[in-house]
Structure 1
Amino acid sequence: MPWPPEILYQILTYQFRDLMSNDYPGNAEKFNENFRTFIKSNLTVNKAFSHICMVLAYRYCNLTTARRFHHLLRTLKERPELRNTVQIVDFQELTSIGLGRTGEMNRMIKNLTNETLLEFLHLTKFTLREFLACEHIQDDLDENIIYFLLRTGTVLSVLDFCGCSGAKFTDSCIIALDRLYRFDKEQQNNSPLEENYQITCLGLNDCTDLPSFVLGRMLRMLPDLQKLDLAHTSIDDDTLINKVPHLKSLTHLSLAMCLKLSPRAVLEFFSYHPAVTDENNFATLEWLNLYTTLHSSSWTEVHTSFLLKKLCQYGHNKTLQYLNLSGMPLHESNDTSVTRSTFYFQCHDALTFIKWNFPKLKSLSIAGNNIPLSKLSQFLTPIPEDVLSEKWWLYEDQGMQQLKFLNLSNNSYVNKWTIQDSTLYTSSPSLVALEVSFDAWQMIEKSNSRHEITALRFKNPNSFLKDTADAEVIRWRCYIDSSYGRRYWIYKVDPYLNRDDLEATGNVTKYDSDGNKIIQIVTQPDFLKFVQSKIMLGCGFIPLSSVRRKKCYRDLKPPISQFFTRNGRVTLGSRSTPIVAPMLPPGGWRVMAHHNENENISLSDAIAEENEDGYSQDEVSDDGTLSDNYAASVSSTTFSRTNSRGRIRSGLYWDRSMHDLHSRFTESDAFTTLPELSAPPSIGEEVEENDEEYLNDPSLQRNRSQLSLRRFSSARPLSLHQRPSTVDSSASMVMPVIKPQNYYYSHPHEFIYDPRDPETTLKYQLHLQVVDEYEVFGCIERGMYRYYRYYSLRA
């Protein structure tokens, strides 16, 4: 029996991602060579494999040369059915065409020009989700292309102009924005013709030549941004405070190396701007980069302490996982006392403040601060359990420290004489990588041929007598790679995520007994995702989870299957409807009845009487909420009507409390059944279909395979949405305790695959952990240097 195409698609998806993330061979052609390997291995097997290869190959168009772009454009012209598969176009690794050609010759060849690029955008306008540019195409981005990318009516969600600058690019942006704005003579100001609610990620990293007023006009058009990268731009104080709109969903923000920003403006932004201070925002910050140069900035210790307290006041400290404070001075104090205040734990020392108030922090950069090793060791040491248990009423909401990366470059105390101090490597059990200065890194690199250092972690580090037999051996290794500029990292070796055999496997080519080349997957260390200084805006080659895709693309109804539409037909991709209205806050539509004060009529009676006049039984549910079909058909947010008795008036309101019903579902209520609440994100939008609905759709079951996807063996592992069962003594039977959806992604260490198989359990836990981190940090696929350099792409 042939396998279902959905199963084949998942298998080939894993193979495609492994090959595309392969760092071998170590040259610029590794993408093309790995891509050819995947196509040659699967394209000619059968029709199902050919269809899957088309879906995977054309979804992410990585264009390394202009000639490759020309071939892609020609293929889309000849085969219109492939246009629906293109979702991402990536020019970030495009190399300028040299070989003696001048710019005029390149324009005559017309492989990649403003005309061909605009033609490509028109062909893929129904499905293109990400446009990732680079400095090599900045002169080809004319006003028509900028206008097309910024205007409404497309499904483009991720827009990255990283490195684009120059007079021509600036003029194109000004002309395009003039077409998108109107001038109000009465108020004497400019306002956008239409706001773009589809774009959620904007990258302007290193767009140094764009004036500040251009940045302000561009940001005012995009009120639903979730990720905003303004690193190394000319944004000034007025634009940051007055021109940045109220971004209710902002999670990623980079203001690194913005030389025209003063500390006063940055502090005022984090103190009063509604994008980061409104308690009704959909999200709080998870990624923040405020890197600045130590000697040229006017930041003081007082400024930094005030900033950290403001982050705590508005709840960002509970969600921040990446924080870059390089170049900002930190206050040092010998007073390590900790007291509880309204919004945070009050500490005199800045590092102690970060340790106690940012429990989810995984990447921290404090380069440029001269902090002694004793302070660093104290900061990296987890909070003792006896302290938490002794004063549990003060620290009941304090989680364990999860720091994995620490940037200590330009710290005079971490030098070639102190770099081998074992306390730096054994204090924190979660730390996996350090960034240090070149002298300290070179000391380890030259110490032995393996470029590593070995440290011992004792069970009782404070004991005078230490038993080396029971000590844990920890190996740290220098990461040697020339493609990341002048940054030097030391990482902790482990057998799964940060292996130590990268050099050996990457430089050796193996063949089998028949002379066929053995393809080895050489993946880069996992710690590289924590060291990046640029926001990874897109979803990558193969999204590790649907959470990041939903946040970036805001899919209303993403396809469950890559091969069947919702009416059962075979498809090569799908088209989505552009979002032209702002998203409503979490909640649901509810009919609220209003009556005279002298008459005591319940809501159920009011709805019942209202049903006599117009509402059918299908429109109003038992709990007083409107059905999805009826709420979606209403064209306005509120309405009122009077029944035949002339005393009842009812309205349609958006009830935000409906969203909290499932969050109040405790373990004690595990055996009760809550009503299923489902409401559209906004009027006229469809509700996303989940896997359960798809599998139970009778019209699609007839087109699916005979293989039952819901049939499991008795020895199956636990679901990711459940935990081990508990025994109900009163009923004398085993009853499951329901966990919230995706619980184990945020609590991977609680997941147990099989108590008798700890190795497989560990692999599952690591996988869940990587998937959870992917939502904030993205993933490491090809290791593009632009993600790891501080601010310059040309240095």
Structure 2
Amino acid sequence: MILPPEIVYEVLTYQFQDLMSNDHPNNPEKFHSNLRIFLRSNLTVNKTFYHVCKVLIYRYLNFTSARGFYKLLETLRMSPELVRYVQVADFEELTSIGLGRTGEMNKSIKNLTNETLWEFLWLTRGSLREFLASEHIQGDLDERIINFLLKPGTILSVVDFCGSSHDKFTETFTAAVNKLYSDSQPIDYNYQITSLGLNDCTTIASSTLGKLLATLPELQKLDLGHTSIDDRTIINSIPHLKGLTHLSLSMCSQLTPRGVLEFFSYHPAVTDVDNSTTLQWLNVQVHPHSSSWSDVQLMFLLKRLCRYGHNKTLQYLNIGGLPLHLTEDLSVTKTMYYWQCQDTLHFIKLNFPHLKSLSIKDNNVPVPRLVSFLSPLQSDEIAEQRLKFLNVVNNAYINRWSIQDPAILAHSKSLCAIETSFDPWQQIEASNSRHEITCRLIDNSTLLQDPSKSQLVKWKCYIGSVYGRRHWLYKTDECLNRGDIDTLGYLTNYDSQGNKIIEIIKQPDFLKFAQTKIMLGCGIVRQSSARRNLTYRDLNAPISQFFDKNRTIARRPNTPPIRIPVRPPGEWRLIDNESPEQSQESEARDESPQDDNMLHNSDPSDAPPNSRIGLFWDRSMTNLSQSMQAYESDLQYLNDPELQRRRSQLSLFRGNFVANKDPIGGPQHRLTSTSFHTGSSLRDISISGNAEAPNMTMAYRQHLEVSAEYTVFGCIERGMYRYYSLKT
């Protein structure tokens, strides 16, 4: 039986993801090693497999050497039809140092220069979505290239200049930004870029940053960590970002507490109630020895986040270095926007229910206060805490003696990792040959504890020596945070036929919560279409870019860039501001559906003499067809009647389709009461998207939770990108 191409595409996508996230062998060539395994397994099966393999391997281009980049450029020259598949150009793992070469020798080798890089960008201008640079290629980014990356007219949605701080790059970057202006006014605005990374670009002037940000009104993810941005720029130059979800202001030495608090109190990017989103990821880490923050200012910042609803969506919060106010008085008072209390940690526990990663680095918090913070609340009125990662580095109370008491590890069911300083971590690491500590979860709802009924959990040591020697303790499980990572990958196994057994060795899943840099891109392959649709703002299903619904290869043109602002959900509606005498008559008239329809189509000249007809923007109406192209979601594409008919005998899912209202106006199908076949057994699971469904298997519930986390945190999957995100 010939599999439909959309099924082949989904299956090979997951296989490609597993192989590319394989961390073995542990060297820069692992990407190409795993890529060869994937191609040898699938490339020569049939034409459909061949085409899907081309789509997957050219969609994400990871350059580890200048020679590899030039070979790829030659391939694109000879085969122009491959250009349309290129979506991500990742230079963050590239390095030309080594192999006996010097900087001068590299300049004479014309593999990666500003000319070859410009040729690559020009060839892929119609398909490239992400450009991830680093300090290794900052010398090759001339004014023409930087201006091309930042100006409107392309479909580039993610641009990252992480670590580029050379003086020559700064001069070139400033000149490129100035070309975006004419007579101190922007020539045009870039409505396509949604993610901008300037992490560790320390030498770019604050005025230049302000001029650039003013031209990017559609930013969703903004990384300004360790830059020279100051109070004036953050308050006056950042535009009204209606979709801002990720923001990093960590280690910005020119920012003062007053400027940060004014930004979170008055700037429309974080205070406008009509914004389409609220913050999900926030990093305001400071250096404790040079910071002027006080615990009162930190509490004011947290209250501002609650005032504008960010506490209801925030999943990552880094307040490392900011002083906490700790007190024994844990009395609580309910206000309009938050639960009021004096203790900072207790305030976070009460008011940030969806928080999954919290950094309170450089704060001395006693162990009993941490235990109280991690213990679940015995209250039906307050949402349960879901914290999974806690950073307590440089906490004097967490030392080699107190870490042996597993109280911190035994009071939270959701906690899966803790980052500590070296001394307490070393104590656990040297305590036994397995480098682990075992404890039982404490049931806080009962006074009498039965150890035989408590769940036994194991915590293991993990070190990130290449990330600035960060030290973690993580709770092991069978899937996401396996306890045998340190023993895998050293031996090569073969089956009885002499074939090599390929083992997929992945980094622990908790590392995504430990990041300090925003993961801007969508990764090697999409794990969740939500992140891709938000970042790229695609209007069609990804598979429809490569296949037509009649099984042929798609030849349609690439997606055009967004040149005008995207209207928020809603439509204009007529309202009749009537006089009090007419209110009773209008109420009776509005009860009739026919009269209600007449309200939308009425002529203003027919209005009563004492009434006023006006327009207002109704956000409850979600039709965007007038301002955007026709939208076709993944489910709409895959649930096409013709496709359903062709694969009716190959259906993995069986159930009833229920048409719901799509959030942006079109019909969307949802599977309910569905069964999933696994061999001879049949397990009932609900795939409606609710991870709390009682009839759902633990594996699928975990899958949904990881997919939702991917939308916010991304994933730690490639070498240098992982290094930048986790380094201290």
The TM-score normalised by the length of structure 1 is 0.82
Deviations 1:487-533 (A, max 9, x none): 10000011111110112222221111222211000111111110000
Distance of 1:227 and 1:530 partners within structure 2: 17
1:347 pairs, out of 341, 347, 350, with 341
Cα pair 1:509 1:518 within 8 Å, conserved? yes
Residue 726 of structure 2 is aligned to residue 786 of structure 1: no
Distance of 1:158 and 1:603 partners within structure 2: 52
Cα pair 1:159 1:202 within 8 Å, conserved? yes
Distance of 1:779 and 1:711 partners within structure 2: 28
Q: Matches of residues 642-657 of structure 1 in structure 2 within 5 Å?
A: 654-657=617-620
Residue 427 of structure 2 is aligned to residue 443 of structure 1: yes
Aligned residues, how many? 703
- 1:541 is matched by which residue type in structure 2? I
SS of 2:419's equivalent in the other structure is strand
Distance of 2:338 and 2:434 partners within structure 1: 44
Once the two structures are TM-superposed, the CA of residue 296 in structure 1 deviates from its matched residue by: 1.2
1:273 pairs, out of 267, 284, 296, with 267
SS of 2:327's equivalent in the other structure is coil
SS of 1:518's equivalent in the other structure is coil
Distance of 2:614 and 2:110 partners within structure 1: 60
Identical amino acids, percent of aligned pairs: 54
Instruction: Tell me: CA distance 1:143–1:527, structure 2 relative to 1, closer, same or farther (3 Å).
Output: same
Cα pair 2:567 2:624 within 8 Å, conserved? no
Once the two structures are TM-superposed, the CA of residue 679 in structure 1 deviates from its matched residue by: 3.2
Instruction: Tell me: CA distance 1:566–1:169, structure 2 relative to 1, closer, same or farther (3 Å).
Output: farther
Cα pair 1:55 1:573 within 8 Å, conserved? no
**Which residue does 2:214 correspond to in 1?**
220
**Which residue does 2:413 correspond to in 1?**
429
Once the two structures are TM-superposed, the CA of residue 31 in structure 1 deviates from its matched residue by: 1.1
Once the two structures are TM-superposed, the CA of residue 484 in structure 1 deviates from its matched residue by: 2.3
Deviations 1:145-192 (A, max 9, x none): 011011111110011110111121111112112221011xxxxxx121
Residue 404 of structure 2 is aligned to residue 420 of structure 1: yes
Cα pair 1:590 1:652 within 8 Å, conserved? yes
Once the two structures are TM-superposed, the CA of residue 104 in structure 1 deviates from its matched residue by: 3.6
Instruction: Tell me: CA distance 1:709–1:268, structure 2 relative to 1, closer, same or farther (3 Å).
Output: farther
Deviations 1:442-497 (A, max 9, x none): 0000010100001122446874x643322321110001343322210000011111
Once the two structures are TM-superposed, the CA of residue 714 in structure 1 deviates from its matched residue by: 7.2
Once the two structures are TM-superposed, the CA of residue 710 in structure 1 deviates from its matched residue by: 6.5
Q: Matches of residues 654-665 of structure 1 in structure 2 within 5 Å?
A: 654-659=617-622
Cα pair 1:536 1:787 within 8 Å, conserved? no
Once the two structures are TM-superposed, the CA of residue 622 in structure 1 deviates from its matched residue by: 6.3
Instruction: Tell me: CA distance 1:93–1:772, structure 2 relative to 1, closer, same or farther (3 Å).
Output: same
Once the two structures are TM-superposed, the CA of residue 623 in structure 1 deviates from its matched residue by: 8.7
Cα pair 1:723 1:751 within 8 Å, conserved? no
- 2:403 is matched by which residue type in structure 1? I
Instruction: Tell me: CA distance 1:590–1:701, structure 2 relative to 1, closer, same or farther (3 Å).
Output: farther
Distance of 2:554 and 2:655 partners within structure 1: 36
Q: Matches of residues 722-733 of structure 1 in structure 2 within 5 Å?
A: none
**Which residue does 1:291 correspond to in 2?**
285
Q: State the superposition RMSD in angstroms.
A: 3.3
Instruction: Tell me: CA distance 1:149–1:548, structure 2 relative to 1, closer, same or farther (3 Å).
Output: same
Residue 343 of structure 2 is aligned to residue 406 of structure 1: no
Once the two structures are TM-superposed, the CA of residue 715 in structure 1 deviates from its matched residue by: 12
Once the two structures are TM-superposed, the CA of residue 780 in structure 1 deviates from its matched residue by: 2.5
Residue 29 of structure 2 is aligned to residue 35 of structure 1: no
Residue 456 of structure 2 is aligned to residue 513 of structure 1: no
**Which residue does 1:307 correspond to in 2?**
301
**Which residue does 2:519 correspond to in 1?**
536
Stretch moving more, 467-476 or 765-774: 467-476
Once the two structures are TM-superposed, the CA of residue 573 in structure 1 deviates from its matched residue by: 8.0
1:372 pairs, out of 366, 373, 388, with 366
Instruction: Tell me: CA distance 1:342–1:376, structure 2 relative to 1, closer, same or farther (3 Å).
Output: same
- 1:543 is matched by which residue type in structure 2? R
Residue 624 of structure 2 is aligned to residue 679 of structure 1: yes
**Which residue does 2:677 correspond to in 1?**
none
**Which residue does 1:240 correspond to in 2?**
234
Q: Which runs of 5+ in 2 are unaligned?
A: 661-668, 675-685
SS of 2:472's equivalent in the other structure is strand
- 2:624 is matched by which residue type in structure 1? A
**Which residue does 1:457 correspond to in 2?**
441
**Which residue does 2:682 correspond to in 1?**
none
Once the two structures are TM-superposed, the CA of residue 25 in structure 1 deviates from its matched residue by: 1.1
Residue 715 of structure 2 is aligned to residue 765 of structure 1: no
**Which residue does 1:775 correspond to in 2?**
711
Distance of 1:649 and 1:347 partners within structure 2: 48
Residue 315 of structure 2 is aligned to residue 321 of structure 1: yes
Once the two structures are TM-superposed, the CA of residue 13 in structure 1 deviates from its matched residue by: 0.9
Distance of 2:113 and 2:242 partners within structure 1: 37
Distance of 1:582 and 1:405 partners within structure 2: 37
- 1:367 is matched by which residue type in structure 2? K
Instruction: Tell me: CA distance 1:559–1:438, structure 2 relative to 1, closer, same or farther (3 Å).
Output: closer
SS of 2:705's equivalent in the other structure is helix
Instruction: Tell me: CA distance 1:697–1:344, structure 2 relative to 1, closer, same or farther (3 Å).
Output: closer
- 1:369 is matched by which residue type in structure 2? N
Instruction: Tell me: CA distance 1:404–1:695, structure 2 relative to 1, closer, same or farther (3 Å).
Output: closer
Instruction: Tell me: CA distance 1:315–1:66, structure 2 relative to 1, closer, same or farther (3 Å).
Output: same
Cα pair 1:640 1:649 within 8 Å, conserved? no
SS of 1:510's equivalent in the other structure is coil
SS of 1:749's equivalent in the other structure is coil
Cα pair 1:559 1:565 within 8 Å, conserved? no
1:504 pairs, out of 466, 474, 487, with 487
- 1:33 is matched by which residue type in structure 2? S
Once the two structures are TM-superposed, the CA of residue 708 in structure 1 deviates from its matched residue by: 5.5
Cα pair 2:230 2:254 within 8 Å, conserved? yes
Once the two structures are TM-superposed, the CA of residue 640 in structure 1 deviates from its matched residue by: 9.2
Once the two structures are TM-superposed, the CA of residue 314 in structure 1 deviates from its matched residue by: 1.0
**Which residue does 1:62 correspond to in 2?**
62
Distance of 2:61 and 2:71 partners within structure 1: 11
Distance of 2:32 and 2:541 partners within structure 1: 29
Instruction: Tell me: CA distance 1:287–1:62, structure 2 relative to 1, closer, same or farther (3 Å).
Output: same
- 1:488 is matched by which residue type in structure 2? H
- 1:245 is matched by which residue type in structure 2? P
Cα pair 1:373 1:424 within 8 Å, conserved? yes
